[in-house]
Amino acid sequence: MIYLVAHAARVSALLGQHVVLVAVSLAIALVIALPLGTTAARHPRAGTLILATAGILYTIPSLALLALLVAAIGLGPSTAIVALVVYAQMILIRAVVAGLRGVDPALVDAARGMGLSARQTLLRVEFPAALPVMLAGVRVAAVTLVALATVAAWIDAGGLGVLLFEGILTQNDDKIVAGALAAAALAIVADLALRGCERAVRR
Count of Cβ atoms closer than 10 Å to residue 111 Cβ = 18
Among 116, 140, 177, 187, binds another protein (CB under 8 A): 116
The minimum distance between CB 54 and another protein, in angstroms, equals 29
The minimum distance between CB 80 and another protein, in angstroms, equals 37
> Total residues at the site for another protein (CB under 8 A)?
18
101 binds another protein (CB under 8 A): no
Count of Cβ atoms closer than 10 Å to residue 197 Cβ = 15
Question: How far is the C-alpha of 57 from the C-alpha of 89, rounded, in Å?
Answer: 9
Helix (H, G, I), strand (E, B) or coil at 104: coil
Q: Is 148 left (phi over 0), alpha (psi -120 to 50) or beta?
A: alpha
Based on CB atoms, which residue is closest to another protein, 44 or 113? 113
Among 5, 9, 71, 106, binds another protein (CB under 8 A): 106
Share of the chain residues as helix, strand and coil, in percent rounded to the nearest 5: 90, 0, 10
123 binds another protein (CB under 8 A): no
111 binds another protein (CB under 8 A): yes
112 binds another protein (CB under 8 A): yes
Among 34, 129, 140, 180, binds another protein (CB under 8 A): 129
Question: How far is the C-alpha of 124 from the C-alpha of 128, rounded, in Å?
Answer: 7
Question: How far is the C-alpha of 98 from the C-alpha of 131, rounded, in Å?
Answer: 10
The minimum distance between CB 110 and another protein, in angstroms, equals 3
Based on CB atoms, which residue is closest to another protein, 127 or 165? 127
5 binds another protein (CB under 8 A): no
110 binds another protein (CB under 8 A): yes
Among 104, 168, 170, 189, binds another protein (CB under 8 A): 104
Alpha helix positions (H), 43-126 = 44-59, 62-73, 77-101, 105-114, 118-120
Interface with another protein (CB under 8 A): 104, 106-117, 120, 124-125, 128-129
